Amino acid sequence: MSSFPVAICAPSGAGKTTVCRALLEASDDLLFSVSATTRPPRQGERDGVDYHFVSDEEFRDMAERGALLEWAEVHGRLYGTPRSNLEAAEREGKKLVLDIDVQGARQVVKARSDTVTVFLLPPSFAVLMERLRGRGSEKGERLRRRMETARGELDAAMTFQYVVVNDRLDEAVAAVRSILDGEGWRLERRREEIEARVGELRAGLEAGTR
């Protein structure tokens, strides 16, 4: 099984968390990259599962120690990917699924050129607002800020390798799953294995025709 990072981005409220969760539940070759953040947990979120909830000081310390593969400020809070997540995925031969913002995705691609980038779009503006409000976690000023960030994130859609519309959840999850399956077959990800296979076949053919 090939191991590579998968950066999934979307404007806030498009359903990135929901899609990632459903994708992870249905697959055993994926590892979710649990980020560190200085934002407080939302209802139902668990420390160490959804995020590592840390103080500003702890976050700065991780960044200074070089323990973060990338980090960014999003909606006024700090978010970062522990480098150890990537190492764990490699050890286990799994693909590391990163639910990160566009700035973070760019940094991951810089660090790892084999990263697969997927952008999720909501089916319409009306549905985006419905989902943002429906989640109920953001109101007033914070909701307005998320809408502003969403506008900036949208501009990045055209720079991603894959764009999936998250209309029906099961269809969006199946689409991302098929992208990852296809990516796993790329020659660049399997060069050594294919070379060995071709070498073995060639040796057999040469011996057989001698």
Give residue 120's region: left, alpha or beta (phi > 0; psi -120 to 50). Answer: beta
Which of 30-38, 82-90, 166-174, 183-191 is the region at the interface with ligand ADP (rule: CB under 6 A)? 166-174
Partner from ligand 5GP, ligand ADP, none binding residue 72, C-beta < 5-8 Å depending on class: ligand 5GP
* Residue 117 within binding range of ligand 5GP, rule CB under 6 A: no
Q: Rule CB under 6 A: is residue 103 a binding residue for ligand 5GP?
A: yes
Could you tell me which residues are annotated as the binding site? 10-17
CB of 198 to ligand 5GP, least distance (A): 39
Residue with tokens 């799953």: 177
DSSP E strand stretches across the chain: 5-9, 30-32, 35-37, 51-53, 68-74, 77-82, 95-99, 116-121, 162-165
The binder of ligand 5GP chosen from 30, 95, 96, 101 (CB under 6 A): 101
Residue 99 touches ligand 5GP, criterion: CB under 6 A: yes
Least Å from the CB of residue 136 to ligand ADP: 8
122 touches 33 (CB < 8 A): no
Strand partners, 131: none
Indicate whether 16 belongs to the interface with ligand ADP (CB under 6 A): yes
Site string for ligand ADP, 115-134 (x = CB under 6 A): ----------------x--x
Angstrom distance (rounded) from CA 171 to CA 181: 15
d(CA 149, CA 74): 8
The b-or-e profile of 173-203 (16+ CB within 10 A means b, else e) is bebbeebbeebbeeeebeeeeeeeeeeeeee
Contact residues toward ligand ADP (CB under 6 A) are 10, 12-18, 131, 134-135, 166, 168-169, 172
Residues within the interface to ligand 5GP (CB under 6 A): 12, 16, 35, 39, 70, 72, 74, 79-81, 99-101, 103-104
